[in-house]
Amino acid sequence: MLFSNNKLTRDELLSRFFPRYHPVASLSQNGLSGGSVIISDGDQRHVLRQPHDPSAASCYFRRQYRALRRLPARLAPAPLFYSPCWMVVEYCAGEVKSELPACPMLSDLLY
C-alpha cells in the first residue's frame, strides 16, 4: 500500500484504502488495546492500529512499522499499511495468554 501523510479518520482510511473492509471488533475484544480495531472483508481479517500515545512523536510509530516489517512472520504480524496516524497489520488468530511460557518453551519460540 502507498504511504499517506494525511491525518485520516478511521472511516476515511477504510473508505480510501480498504473499501471492502469494515470494523468487526474493537477494544472490548480480549487482546486489543490502544484503540485497535479488527477489520474484515468477509474473508480476511486485519488489525487497524493507532499510536498508543497520540502526543508522542510520529517517529516512534514509524519505528514500530519498520521493526514489524523486518521480523519473521512466526514472531509478529506483517504490516500492510502505514500512515502517521494508522497502521494496518495482519490479524493473528489465537488465544490471549496472561503469562509467559516456561523458559525452555520461550527460548525455542524466540530463537
d(C-alpha 56, C-alpha 18), whole Å: 26
Per the CB < 8 A criterion, the answer to whether 89 and 47 are in contact is yes
CATH 3.40.50.10710 fits 10-110, yes or no: no
What is the pTM assigned to this prediction? 0.73
DSSP bridge pairs for 47: 38, 89
3-state secondary structure of 32: coil
pLDDT tens for each residue of 55-102: 788 888 899 999 999 998 888 899 999 988 899 999 988 777 777 777
Q: What is the mean pLDDT of the chain?
A: 82
Enumerate residues 6+ apart whose C-beta is below 8 A from 5. 83, 84
Higher pLDDT, 41 or 104: 41
